[in-house]
Homo-oligomer: A and B are copies of this chain.
Amino acid sequence: MITEKSLLMIPGPTPIPPQVAAAMTQPMINHRGEAFFSLFDEVSQGLRSLFRTEQPVYIFPGAGSGGWEAALVNTLSPGDTVLSVSVGDFGERWVKVARALGLTVERLVFEPGQAANPGRIAERLNADKARVIKAVLVQHNETSTGITNDVRTIAQVVREHGALLMVDSVSGLGALPLEFDAWGVDVALTGAQKALMCPPGLSMIAFSERARAASESSKMPRFYWDLKAVHSSYLKRQTPYTPAISLFYALQAALRMIQAETVEGAWARHRLMGAMCRAGVKAMGLSLLAADEAWASNSVTAVRSPIEPKKLRKTAREQLGVQLAGGQAELEASIFRIGHLGYVTPNDVIQALTATEMALALNGHPVELGAAVTAAQREWVRHLHG
């Protein structure tokens, strides 16, 4: 068997298209010269389209999680209070970042499988008459639980209060609808290695005019993630420190692919893949972690595992050529996850479902072979019929 050909169905890093891989092999260029400036322009324009914003989108060499730090250090001051709305492990991690940076964190925690309830957020914000809460932190898509939050409604609620709304869209942007300007988001951040189909190593972040104004009075010590430095370089079509040029080329190639598909087309593809995946999973007799299917993410599906998830994943990986993801933190022993974002197609979802079904069978769990694919095919056919 060819064991190197293995389908990566984890929620990031995601598979790299051949065009993106090839783009990185271009010769190195001077980052203070014309060739870079035009690369910068094209990538910046592509990102603005993707974020649906007229604001600049800044690109840092860094992991997506660097955006968590960038969001906080540029807009707040030590001791400021932020409201963390958390529905899973990545929400909890952002809390740790905020605390490490000296912020006071109030928490609104929803159980794994639940989405953030905008009504509960409104209640808390309405009670904050003194406007102590300076910012609300929320995941667009919680990768660890496969839950998509209703950022649009949350944004309305937060706008009424006046706090800044900061959205971690690492596993959302490019796969799931996000309208930065129209919804009134203040900070949105993402990474290159998810729906953007690039290798990891770039952190992208947009700030609203409100957020940029807040940065004028922000007193958090900062250097690397400093908005002032990156903005003044941005105006010169540059970055303050040496940019990850090969990854810029990768991003350029990926953004051209997204432009060809259209942003709405990418959303529709992910919506279809999410529907197919959920239909398949349910046809196997398994249940979603999502307490309400309307909350289930179209970029990653979290499934309650009827057998030890590690066993299931090992069988899929070693015998069936498909890599699934495990659960994080307290979900490690109870769920597995199927990533379907980025350079992934309905055919890949079919493969992932096939492998999942067979991995269950091979581990002695009763399934009806073919049931999952049949259900997924029906979704696909329905989609094609319009």
Where the two chains meet, the residues of A that have a C-beta atom closer than 8 Å to any C-beta of B are 4, 8, 10, 12-16, 21-22, 24-31, 33, 60-66, 68-69, 78, 96-97, 100-102, 191, 193, 199-201, 203, 220-226, 241-247, 250, 323, 325
Contacts and interface: CB of A to CB of B under 8 A. Distances in A.
Contacts of A16: 27-28, 246
A224 B203 CA distance: 12
A65 B199 CA distance: 21
B244 A201 contact: yes
Contact of A242 (B60, B64, B101, B243): B64
Contacts of A4: 27
Given A33-B323, A199-B244, 4 more contacts: A14-B28, A15-B28, A102-B221, A200-B242
A25 B28 contact: no
Nearest to A96: B223
The prevalent SS among residues of A at the interface is loop
A70 B86 CA distance: 28
Contacts of A21: 24-26
A10 B28 CA distance: 11
A26 B199 CA distance: 10
Given A24-B246, A247-B244, A323 B61 contact: no
Given A27-B8, A30-B10, A221-B102, A201 B63 contact: no
